């Protein structure tokens, strides 16, 4: 039932919404007038009925007292025959009496008109009509009056006590018919009211039809035309055979549409070009840009912001509440400031905008700077929206952290040799006279070694700084056997002093590679120096160079350079950090000293040659560092691919491994 009522309500609401304002006003006025007329009519009918009820009551009281005065002696004497004759004579001579009932002092009906004796004795309806209060005889001497409804109208019931010689004999009940004149008057008034009501609504319906044919339809056509114009359809025209003000209005509308169409044709291309420029500018800026209205709905978002906010895989968020789509980290920080800025009365700290720095864990760990700026109207009186600028400062943060770490490490590394030099020199200065010549020489040798260590550290830092700068290096064809032989000669004496065999195995007739001679010498020097440093006497350091062809990549053939030693090896846990700055294997094995920058320099140089340095190592067996250099294409001969046996543990692809296998 409730669903049906709601459906009817919806139908009426839709039907009412289709009416024009004029029709609604007419219907409302008609309803008010009709209700007012109906109210006045029913008030008049009710007044007439009230007067008639009073007259019937008064007439019934008087008639009941008259009948009771004549019937009481007959009832007292028990002369029911005369009572019946008298009552029938009175009933037949008046049309105002509906019924007459006589009851004794016990309330038992013993005579009634126009009822038969059996009806009087057995009818419950008749008994209910004469039911009186229990204390009626003691408390009420005057007639009692009440009304009840019948199909023929309202009947007035009058109950008159029968008293004779101060003795209560019973009660006389008389039913008085309503006044026929009053009834007819009421009926006439009701009929007139209905006729007036129907006439008013007939006039309303006729007026609505006339209004729809002459006014509503042209206005609807005009409304549709205006909507089409607002939607950009400037070819819209209205053609209706009307006169008067409506015809002039339609004519002006058609002229307006024609002018708009002409203006649109002249300016649409220029507007489209300007819009395209703006969209291109917003979409190509490096920072993310999001524009919100005061209800937090997204108006504009560029691709950079979609990427930073992980909105690329979602449907368009334009038109939706941004707080439902922002990452949780941003939502927690920006919800309150956004609403404060949108309210137009932000706190003092946000009046010139707000800046936040947040870390976004998803989809990747990023650090972003978010700027909030309030967008005002042209008069700067009301807030129209909020502009959000998102800058990815992950690289900047990483560089700052790396710079701080680098400075910290350099400071630490510099402090140790400087402290040692200062300590020994101060000792010589203060206690030189008390020291022997041998002790003085040992102190000076130590200070000299620390000075050399400090020099190496400064040189390595300068080399690394130069490599990481934007300096451009020239690359030219280099025959790899030349830097190898030069480096071998440089370290040969050091290797002989340590009892280590330093050999090289360079394939004959190798073509030149694309590289920088001095940088390649520095790479080989660092790798050979590390091999000599961590190889025990009797060991071997081998430098190899041979041609390879990378079958898994569509690249030209290359020259592979390996530096293999039979030294102490590198733990697997150290291999991941071996190329980090200031990381030294000797920190774990407690043997030799170094700057910890050599392999970082090697990796940086090899990366400038568009390659990567790899390693294979096992503790107690040895280590192999290797990298590939591209062959200079103008002189590339046919190359045979050598048989390779070791697979590097640090490469994920199928790149060939170093030539010689380390015996494990």
Render pLDDT for 406-455 as a digit per residue (tens, 0 to 9). 666 666 566 667 777 888 788 887 877 778 888 878 888 878 877 876 77
Domain boundaries defined on the chain: 1-231, 285-392, 408-465, 473-635
Q: Which helix (H) or strand (E) holds 191?
A: helix 180-211
Look at phi and psi of residue 319 and say left if phi exceeds 0, alpha if psi is from -120 to 50, else beta.
left
Residue positions counted in the chain: 664
Residues in the chain where the model's pLDDT stays below 50: 587-592, 635-664
Q: Which residues contact 557 (CB under 8 A, 6 or more apart)?
A: 547, 548, 549, 550, 631, 636, 639
Tell me, which fold does domain 408-465 have in CATH? Helix Hairpins (1.10.287)
Render pLDDT for 108-138 as a digit per residue (tens, 0 to 9). 778 878 777 676 666 666 666 666 655 555 5
Can you read off the two tokens belonging to residue 287? 């920072």
User: Can you spell out the DSSP letters for 235-258?
Assistant: T--------HHHHHHHHHHHHHHH
pLDDT at 542: 93
pLDDT at 217: 66
Nearest CA among 452, 461, 591, 572 for reference residue 530: 591
Using CA atoms, how far residue 651 sits from 511, 580, 626, in Å, is 26, 18, 12
In this chain, the answer to whether the domains covering 1-231 and 473-635 adopt an identical fold is: no
Using CA atoms, how far residue 6 sits from 11, 16, 19, 24, in Å, is 9, 15, 21, 22
pLDDT at 125: 66
Domain covering 1-231 in this structure, CATH number? 3.30.450.20
CA angle in degrees (0–180, nearest 5) for 650-653-655: 85
Domain covering 285-392 in this structure, CATH number? 3.30.450.20
Burial class of residue 415, CB neighbours in 10 A (0-12, 13-18, 19+): exposed
pLDDT at 663: 35
At 510 the three-state DSSP class reads coil
Domain covering 473-635 in this structure, CATH number? 3.30.565.10
């Amino acid at each position: 039932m409730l669903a049906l009522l709601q459906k009817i309500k919806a139908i009426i609401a839709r039907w009412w919404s289709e009416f024009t304002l004029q029709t609604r006003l007419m219907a409302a006025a008609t309803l008010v007038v009709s209700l007012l007329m109906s109210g006045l009519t029913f008030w008049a009918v009710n007044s007439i009925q009230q007067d008639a009820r009073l007259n019937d009551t008064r007439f019934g009281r008087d008639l009941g007292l008259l009948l009771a005065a004549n019937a009481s002696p007959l009832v007292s004497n028990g002369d029911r025959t005369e009572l019946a004759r008298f009552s029938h004579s009175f009933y037949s001579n008046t049309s105002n009496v509906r019924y007459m009932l006589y009851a004794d002092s016990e309330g038992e009906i013993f005579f009634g008109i126009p009822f038969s004796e059996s009806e009087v004795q057995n009818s419950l309806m008749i008994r209910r009509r004469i039911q009186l209060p229990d204390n009626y005889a003691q408390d009420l001497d005057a007639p009692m009056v009440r009304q009840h409804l019948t199909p023929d109208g309202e009947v007035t019931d009058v109950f008159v006590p029968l008293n004779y010689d101060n003795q209560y004999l019973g009660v006389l009940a008389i039913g008085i018919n309503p006044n026929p004149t009053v009834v007819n008057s009421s009926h006439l008034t009701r009929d007139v009211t209905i006729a007036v009501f129907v006439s008013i609504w007939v006039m309303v319906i006729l007026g609505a039809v006339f209004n729809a044919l002459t006014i509503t339809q042209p206005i609807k056509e005009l409304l549709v035309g205006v909507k089409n114009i607002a939607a950009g359809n400037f070819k819209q025209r209205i053609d209706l055979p009307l006169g008067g003000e409506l015809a002039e209005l339609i004519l002006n509308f058609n002229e307006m549409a024609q002018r708009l169409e002409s203006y649109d044709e002249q300016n649409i291309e220029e507007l489209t070009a300007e819009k395209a420029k703006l969209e291109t500018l917003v979409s190509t800026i490096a920072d993310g840009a999001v524009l919100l209205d005061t209800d937090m709905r997204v108006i504009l978002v560029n691709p950079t912001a979609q990427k930073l906010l992980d909105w690329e895989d979602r449907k368009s968020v334009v038109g939706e509440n941004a707080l439902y789509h922002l990452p949780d980290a941003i939502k927690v920080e920006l919800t309150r400031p956004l609403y404060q800025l949108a309210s137009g009365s932000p706190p003092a700290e946000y009046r010139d905008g707000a800046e936040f720095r947040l870390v976004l864990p998803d989809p990747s760990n990023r650090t972003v700077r978010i700027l909030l700026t309030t967008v005002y109207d042209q008069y700067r009186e009301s807030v129209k929206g909020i502009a959000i600028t998102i800058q990815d400062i992950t690289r900047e943060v990483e560089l700052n952290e790396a710079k701080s770490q680098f400075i910290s490490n350099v400071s630490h590394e510099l402090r140790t040799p400087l402290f040692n030099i200062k300590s020994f020199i101060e000792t010589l200065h203060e206690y030189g006279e008390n020291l022997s010549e041998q002790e003085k020489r040992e102190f000076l040798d130590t200070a000299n070694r620390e000075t050399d260590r400090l020099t190496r550290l400064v040189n390595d830092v300068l080399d690394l700084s130069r490599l990481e700068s934007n300096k451009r290096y020239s690359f030219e064809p280099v025959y790899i056997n030349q830097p190898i032989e030069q480096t071998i000669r440089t370290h040969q004496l050091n290797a002989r002093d340590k009892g280590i065999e330093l050999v090289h195995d360079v394939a004959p007739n190798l073509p030149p590679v694309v590289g920088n001679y001095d940088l390649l010498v520095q790479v080989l020097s660092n790798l050979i120096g590390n091999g000599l440093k961590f190889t025990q006497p009797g060991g071997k350091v081998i430098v190899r160079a041979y041609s390879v062809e990378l079958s898994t990549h569509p690249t030209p053939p290359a020259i592979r350079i390996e530096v293999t030693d039979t030294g102490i090896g590198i733990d697997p846990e150290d291999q991941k950090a071996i190329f980090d700055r200031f990381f030294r294997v000797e920190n774990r094995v407690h043997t030799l000293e170094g700057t910890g920058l050599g392999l970082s320099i090697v990796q940086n140089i090899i990366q400038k040659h568009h390659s990567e340095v790899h390693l294979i190592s096992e503790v107690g067996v040895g280590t192999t560092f290797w990298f590939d250099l591209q062959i200079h294409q103008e002189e590339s001969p046919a190359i045979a691919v050598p048989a390779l046996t070791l697979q590097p543990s640090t490469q994920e692809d199928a790149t060939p491994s170093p030539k010689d296998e380390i015996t494990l």
